[in-house]
């Protein structure tokens, strides 16, 4: 959750392509610490918290990048294709009962591959025809404008269920 809170100021100040490789390298560091000292509980807890912080920054960042680089017409299909290898890797890990050191090393290597892909992506420019202005507003809204005048709803029979609020009065007798 803290990573998600940190994402918004980062995204307003820097391009996502600039800070996301740094986040991935911090993730690689956390996996390396887990692979080097898997039995030291404070290190494991700290690495896990650091990893979760990075995931909190990664998820909104990758959503923003998807909206910039993938057209709406193929985004869902393409993301479903990417889920197939992820599920296959998950089954391999579960079936083979791999040691934690091997799993964390593999995760670190995959994060290094992610880092390389992000460096390549950093040099690419998103096609402007795929960047929807509404997506920019939804994902990174500007400070709200308070120039709008709010309309007061007048009670009518349509909203009040047939009761005329103007003619209803309360008679309170004080004795």
pTM: 0.64
Q: Cβ distance 21 to 115 under 8 Å? A: yes
Tell the residue number behind the tokens 């599920």, with chain if given. Answer: 87
pLDDT tens digit sequence for 122-155:
777 665 554 445 444 445 555 555 555 555 555 5
Reported confidence tier of residue 171, pLDDT bands at 50, 70, 90: low
CB count in 10 Å sphere of residue 166: 9
Average pLDDT over residues 34-53: 91
Q: Cβ distance 118 to 17 under 8 Å? A: yes
Look at residue 57 and tell me whether its pLDDT is greater than 70: yes
What tokens does 109 get?
């290597």
Q: Cα-flanking dihedrals φ and ψ of residue 167, to 5°?
A: -95, -5
pLDDT tens digit sequence for 70-110:
888 888 888 889 889 889 988 888 898 888 888 888 889 99
DSSP assigned state of 154: P
């Amino acid at each position: 959750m803290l990573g998600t809170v940190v994402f918004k100021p980062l995204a307003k100040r820097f391009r996502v392509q600039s800070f996301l490789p740094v986040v991935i390298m911090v993730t690689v560091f956390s996996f390396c610490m887990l692979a080097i000292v898997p039995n030291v509980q404070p290190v494991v807890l700290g690495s896990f918290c650091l990893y979760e912080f990075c995931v909190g920054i990664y998820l909104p960042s990758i959503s923003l990048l998807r909206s910039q680089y993938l057209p709406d017409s193929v985004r869902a299909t393409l993301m479903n294709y990417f889920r197939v290898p992820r599920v296959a890797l998950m089954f391999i890990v579960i079936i083979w009962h791999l040691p934690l050191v091997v799993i964390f090393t593999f995760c670190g290597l995959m994060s290094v591959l992610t880092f390389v892909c992000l460096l390549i992506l950093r040099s690419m420019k998103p096609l402007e025809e795929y960047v929807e202005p509404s997506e920019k507003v939804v994902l990174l809204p500007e400070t709200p404008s308070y120039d709008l005048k709010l309309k007061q709803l007048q009670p009518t029979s349509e909203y009040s269920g047939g009761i005329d609020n103007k003619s209803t009065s309360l008679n309170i007798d004080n004795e």
